[in-house]
Chains A and B, each alone.
Chain A
Amino acid sequence: MNSAILANFAYIVAAVLFIYGLKELGSPATARRGNIISSVGMLIAIVVTLAAQGIIDFRWIAIGMLIGGIIGVLAARLVAMTAMPEMVALFNGFGGLASLLVGWAALYGSSVSEFTIVTIVLSVLIGGVTFTGSMIAWAKLNERITGKPIMFPGQSIVNALLMAAILVCAVLFAYEPANVNFLYAIIVMSFIFGVMFVIPIGGGDMPVVISLLNSYSGLAACAAGFAIDNLLLIVAGALVGAAGIILTGIMCKAMNRSLGNVLFSGFGSATASGGGETGEVKPISAEDAYYILEAASSVLVVPGYGMAVAQAQHVLKELQGLLEKNDCEVVYGVHPVAGRMPGHMNVLLAEADVSYDALLEMDEVNQKMETYDVAIVVGANDVVNPSAREDESSAIYGMPIINVDYAQTVFVLKRSMAAGFAGLQNPLFFKPNTRMLFGDAKESIGAVVREFSG
């Protein structure tokens, strides 16, 4: 049996391990094992490729793997959990860039048919968009550039022209593969397109963008697989592509918006519209908050991006311990789009050693909302905004929210009265059962904790 066939059989084993690993990732108890199984699949794929695919020169490979390995290990070890969305965006981008380069290199392979040219163009295009799109997403998450949507007049015309130009270059390149200039043009334009694709999207919509870019990084690998005629790339890339699309769908549904609306509307660019609702807000001191919490027998915590910014997860866990000692049940209600990537809050709370049993999904806590004595909103705003339920003129009308206003008492931890990410006023602050605990979330909770201890 020749080595290429042997390699393909080993690729089947790798694909099975990827599939089984993804399946195990679906449950908290087995997830870690699932990730390890999937990494074993990757190891098999790499070793077999090195041994049985006619590789004769290992020098450059060793250099590339050494550099990449060192950067990868350092990045994975050193990144703070709060910076996880940026990290995922960066990794997505690098995956996309690698697929672009693989597709490009395929041009210098042995048999370049018209079909190969089409797949090369596809992998370069998707890989390029993934790369620059992820870099812009990274910069937005890092606040190196503004998180607000960047729009300019004629944006859609520019995008349409860009798409048309890419298409024309692709067709010309298919007719004349010897003229590599067409490919260079496609690469440059796909880079520009990636930038144009992410700049009009606001920071609050980042969970959708990250999921979508995740999907693209898979599809880019898939296209590269067609370009170099490798089935394992096609299968693994398709699995990742499908996973990303599912997540994207979940995120869009959680905001009651279509994908098109997220990508093209520049949501959140409008300044506070219909902010007519005013009333009296009732501030509360840490001491009074302590008295109410001490009497409570069930408390719901609703975290948002503000918790990540204030790094308040550890002190929250401390408060949870004190409340539980006081025979009070504490659960966390996590909105699907809270934070800057899918599951962002869950990761931070897990870092603070909160048991995953205590992290409940939106529907679960909404059903029992009346039974919570106190709902503590930590740095969340739009995901608890009752306008989504009550005000048909609101930009977020129809978005499923966590109905904290139905709880007996609501504490809102907030820096100031500034509007939320979507630039909307939040009537929750003016409800009769709402108390505002102003200040940095970490310090506010710390003050309550001190009241408990002292």
Chain B
Amino acid sequence: MEIVYPAFILVLAIFLGFELISKVPATLHTPLMSGSNAISGITLVGALIASGTGGEATSTFLGTLAVAFATINVIGGYLVTDRMLGMFRKKKGAAENE
């Protein structure tokens, strides 16, 4: 694999991440963390490939374990973030006072 090309993308993605996150207000730090944690469950894509491409049994076994753990991470992460964000609302009373 050519090393430079993915490394280039890596550097750009890190800078993009810094730009995106530095503006998030403190109120949203927890949902941001659990939401970004769900994104780190992207490793599921790798797990699917390892588990299902019909390789060695070891690969299938490791891949399947990884699928289970990554799925917990993805499903749990997104749902719990959604549950939290559902509670963040502007109260009616406050809106009326404005």
Contact = CB atoms under 8 A, between A and B. Distances in A.
A67 B30 contact: no
A87 B80 contact: yes
B42 A232 contact: yes
Interface in A381-407: none
A113 B72 contact: no
Interface string A20-57: 01110111100110111011001001100110011111
Contacts of A222: 10
Contacts of A347: 30-31, 84, 87
Contacts of A359: 27
- Interface size grouping (class) on chain A: 35 or more
A57 B60 contact: yes
A434 interface: no
Interface string B59-98: 1101111111111111111111111111111110110000
A426 interface: no
A49 B66 CA distance: 15
A46 B39 contact: no
A369 B23 CA distance: 25
A336 B26 contact: yes
Interface string B8-37: 011001111110111111111111111111
B52 A242 contact: no
A49 B48 contact: yes
A98 B64 contact: no
A344 interface: yes
Interface of A: 18-19, 21-23, 25-28, 31-32, 34-36, 38-39, 42, 45-46, 49-50, 53-58, 60-61, 63-65, 67-69, 71-73, 75-77, 79, 81, 84, 87-88, 91-92, 94-95, 97-99, 101-102, 104-106, 108-109, 111, 113, 115-116, 210-211, 214, 217-218, 220-222, 224-247, 250, 324, 334, 336, 341-344, 346-347, 350-351, 353-359, 361
Interface of B: 1, 3, 6, 9-10, 13-18, 20-56, 58-60, 62-91, 93-94
Going nearest first, the 7 A-B pairs with the smallest beta carbon separation are A242-B17, A68-B71, A343-B29, A64-B67, A72-B75, A72-B76, A76-B79
11 contacts: A19-B16, A26-B32, A32-B86, A55-B53, A60-B52, A64-B67, A67-B71, A98-B47, A232-B42, A247-B33, A343-B28
